[in-house]
Amino acid sequence: MHGTENPSAWVQRWSHLIAPQSRVLDVACGAGRHMRWLAAQGHHPQGVDRNPDAVALAQAFGAVTCADIENGTWPFAGQTFGAVVVTHYLWRPLLPAIVQCVAAGGVLIYETFAAGNETVGKPSRPDFLLQPSELLRATEGLRTVAYEDGFETSPDRFVQRIVAVRPLTADDVVRWSLKAN
């Protein structure tokens, strides 16, 4: 089942940017692999997924909402989180809502498949593949800390990833550490 494997290396690499004991939203959390990682780091994970079997497993690591976020209402409207984590999930109509959930001083850690992946496997439908620089455009207004867009091996796949932070105020200059934990 999706969500039982190890946490994403991208999430592990950049989770040190999340303020201690933050409330963190894991979008399309599956069985909670990132919720498990974030809880172990001292955070308070909140997951959302439409699969009730996955939600039943994920609730061991924090609060979970079972919701079809593609066909229903966004259950976190008006809420903000110290971090929002999204991996292997893309529903373009939700991108603005996801970005709005990042609190001042918070971080967005996002990674999913990109155009080109159709040449090496699934997903292969354009609806599920980010176009070049799409995450950069979707996160305008946040400060990009790290960005990758391209091909990687083992497994062969095309991915796009971003880590972006919302400044505390427009005038704030924040030093973001590039070292991993």
Q: 64: domain CATH number?
A: 3.40.50.150
Q: Are 35 and 62 in contact (CB under 8 A)?
A: yes
Question: How does pLDDT run across 67-110, given as a tens digit for each residue?
Answer: 999 999 999 999 999 999 999 999 999 999 999 999 999 999 99
- CA geometry: angle 168, 144, 80, nearest 5 deg: 45
Helices within the chain (DSSP H only): 9-14, 33-40, 52-58, 95-100, 134-138
The total domain count for the chain is 1
Residue 103 lies in a domain: yes
* Mean pLDDT, the chain, integer: 91
- Per-residue pLDDT, averaged over 106-119, amounts to 94
Give the pairing type, strands 157-165 and 102-113. Answer: antiparallel
Report pTM: 0.91
Residue 100: domain span: 9-165
- Per-residue pLDDT, averaged over 149-160, amounts to 92
